[in-house]
Amino acid sequence: MEKIIDENKQGQPLVLDQEKENQRKLFIESYGCQMNFSDSEIVASILAKEGFNTTQNLEDADLVLVNTCSIREKAEQTVRKRLEKYNAVKKINPGMKVGVLGCMAERLKSKFLEEEKIVDLVVGPDAYKDLPNLIEEVDAGRNAVNVILSKEETYGDISPVRLQSNGVSAFVSITRGCDNMCTFCVVPFTRGRERSRDPQSIMEEINELATQNFKEITLLGQNVDSYLWYGGGLKKDFEKASDFQKATAVNFAKLLDMVAEKHPKLRLRFTTSNPQDMTLDVIEVMAKHKNICKYIHLPIQSGSDRILKEMNRLHTRQEYFDLIDNIKRIIPDCAISQDIITGFPTETEDDHKDTLSLMEYVKYDYGFMFAYSERPGTLAARKMEDDIPEPVKKRRLAEIIEAQRKHSAYRHQSFVGQTVEVLIEKASKKSDAHWSGRTTQNTVAVFPKGDYKIGDFVMVKINECTSATLLGDAVGYSDNN
């Protein structure tokens, strides 16, 4: 699953403006990837119309919803711990109802009702529009489950509420689901078939965000490069489309071009890309528009051809190098980040060394690294034994994290002495006298506040760096304001 999990955000309850006439209180929190956080905004928007105001106090809630992640076992354990906490609160507030949303709901279905006695409601990622009916069921004293996956649902017609955001950067989802069937990954089972959202509704949402003065948009999907709109329908059925549909189809490069053209002052990002689906025309569109950020999250998972094959990654090590070379040729200052899994079944020391040597070649700017976690139902779980001992997985992971730390420091060091554009997002976590923002390469930069404010594009002279952050001084506004 190609999505970034922001550790700082895990479990944050979502709070929206209060509607006076709304009587019931909803506590909603999210775990996992950005898609879950975005989905929770859609859920809150649906429930606002059903008489729910959001609350940050679990103890006050009439309804508690937890949007869950199944990507690794640890993610599921975190959610189970939260359910224990809700259970304790339920003893004080017996009227409180508890619902599980998202990937764990989809994976475990009604098992949740049997195993976790406190759960009243189980709703999969494609069934949120059914929440009003399901809540009625629960109110009538019955448990309610809807885990039907859809081939069409994109929630394109629901405008998510973003009141908890920093007002500067927003996420807009463009595809849902994934058809790639990587053998380790639970996403195709929990999120269903890949489908693309109507470009018109994407454009409308972005226009609205621009009107509200947002400065940066991230187009979101499990596999954004696979985006394809030809009037609706699954990507795999495109071949059967009419000539007219084919001629007027919008792929990811075209969508990116359209958005960048229409909003030259908006910074654009996208995540996540899959090496086998990323085409040269996307890289060329990135190079053509100044406002498309020079950063690609391009998971590799393993540097070994044999393991890539076992993972069903559908590209080789050499094809990945070719893609990296093309990116660096067309956009020399493009930052690249990775996802890597260590200890996939049968991984040998030589396979692991291939991953390290691949990292040495690419010298990624950042990385997200994980020990393999067997997920029930996936092809790897069914066909392969989870045979790499935990200490070996952990040691390989530590070596990969150390290589990444070195490469991040090397990449960040190259910015020292340069003056770069930074979009201010918030006060620095470490010092209230400093702003924190990101460069086009997605690197965090911190500098004294001066008279600048959140949402300004500022030119910052970089004086020094740590392995994760650039430190500098603002030297003026950028021409993007």
302 closest CA partner among 262, 344, 255, 256: 344
Each residue 326-345 as x (binds ligand 5AD by CB under 6 A) or -, in order, gives: -------------x-x----
Residue nearest to ligand 5AD (CB): 339
Q: Quick one: what does residue 223 bind among ligand 5AD, ligand SF4, none, with the CB cut-off 5 to 8 Å set by partner type?
A: ligand SF4
Which residues ranging from 42 to 71 are in contact with ligand 5AD (CB under 6 A)?
A: 71
Q: Quick one: what does residue 274 bind among ligand SF4, ligand 5AD, none, with the CB cut-off 5 to 8 Å set by partner type?
A: ligand SF4
163 closest CA partner among 13, 30, 22, 57: 13
Q: By C-beta, is 27 or 320 nearer to ligand 5AD?
A: 320
CA distances to 31, 79, 100, 115, 164 from 111, in Å: 20, 15, 12, 6, 33
Residue 366 in contact with ligand 5AD, rule: CB under 6 A:
no
CB of 77 to ligand 5AD, least distance (A): 14
Is 369 within 8 Å of 405 (Cβ atoms)? Answer: no
Residue 301 in contact with ligand 5AD, rule: CB under 6 A:
yes
CA distances to 55, 119, 170, 376, 403 from 115, in Å: 27, 9, 37, 17, 42
The region of 24-32, 289-297, 307-315, 369-377 touching ligand 5AD under the rule CB under 6 A is 369-377
47 closest CA partner among 151, 135, 107: 135
Q: Quick one: what does residue 180 bind among ligand SF4, ligand 5AD, none, with the CB cut-off 5 to 8 Å set by partner type?
A: ligand SF4
Angle between helices 317-330 and 349-362 (to 10 degrees): 10
Q: Quick one: what does residue 214 bind among ligand 5AD, ligand SF4, none, with the CB cut-off 5 to 8 Å set by partner type?
A: none
Residue 372 in contact with ligand 5AD, rule: CB under 6 A:
yes
Q: Quick one: what does residue 478 bind among ligand SF4, ligand 5AD, none, with the CB cut-off 5 to 8 Å set by partner type?
A: none
**Binding region:** 33, 69, 103, 178, 182, 185
Distance of CA 173 to the CA centre of its chain: 9
The region of 1-9, 43-51, 153-161, 289-297 touching ligand 5AD under the rule CB under 6 A is 1-9
Which helix (H) or strand (E) element contains residue 97?
A: strand 97-102
Quote the strand ranges of 231-334, DSSP E: 250-251, 267-271, 295-297
Kind of pairing between the strands at 195-196 and 175-176: antiparallel
CB of 226 to ligand SF4, least distance (A): 9
CB of 190 to ligand SF4, least distance (A): 10
Q: Quick one: what does residue 457 bind among ligand SF4, ligand 5AD, none, with the CB cut-off 5 to 8 Å set by partner type?
A: none
CB of 223 to ligand SF4, least distance (A): 5
**Binding region for [4Fe-4S] cluster:** 33, 69, 103, 178, 182, 185
- Write phi, then psi, for 461 (nearest 5 degrees): -85, 120
Q: By C-beta, is 146 or 301 nearer to ligand 5AD?
A: 301
Q: By C-beta, is 38 or 180 nearer to ligand SF4?
A: 180
Helix runs in 140-279, H state only: 187-190, 199-211, 243-247, 252-262
CB burial readout 150-166, b (16+ within 10 A) else e = beebbbbebebbbebbe
CB of 374 to ligand 5AD, least distance (A): 7
Q: By C-beta, is 168 or 341 nearer to ligand SF4?
A: 341
Residue 370 in contact with ligand 5AD, rule: CB under 6 A:
yes
Strand-pairing partners, residue 471, are: 446, 464
Q: By C-beta, is 3 or 235 nearer to ligand 5AD?
A: 3
Torsion sign across C-alpha atoms 468, 473, 479, 481? positive
470 closest CA partner among 480, 434, 451, 454: 434
CA distances to 38, 105, 114, 122 from 117, in Å: 28, 14, 6, 12
CA distances to 63, 108, 190, 375, 397 from 372, in Å: 35, 21, 18, 9, 10
Q: Of 172, 185, 282, 458, which lies in the binding site for ligand 5AD, with binding defined by CB under 6 A?
A: 185
DSSP labels for 51-88? TEEE-S-GGG-SEEEEEE--SSHHHHHHHHHHHHHHHH
Q: Quick one: what does residue 331 bind among ligand 5AD, ligand SF4, none, with the CB cut-off 5 to 8 Å set by partner type?
A: none
Residue 347 in contact with ligand 5AD, rule: CB under 6 A:
no
Q: Of 72, 197, 352, 412, which lies in the binding site for ligand 5AD, with binding defined by CB under 6 A?
A: 72
State whether residue 248 is helix, strand or coil. coil
Which helix (H) or strand (E) element contains residue 218?
A: strand 216-220
Q: Using CB under 6 A as the criterion, which residues of the chain lie in contact with ligand SF4 when the complex forms? A: 1-2, 178, 180-182, 185, 187-188, 222-223, 274
Q: Quick one: what does residue 188 bind among ligand 5AD, ligand SF4, none, with the CB cut-off 5 to 8 Å set by partner type?
A: ligand SF4
CB of 343 to ligand 5AD, least distance (A): 9
Instruction: Return residues touching ligand 5AD (CB under 6 A).
Output: 1-3, 71-72, 184-185, 299, 301, 339, 341, 370, 372-373, 375
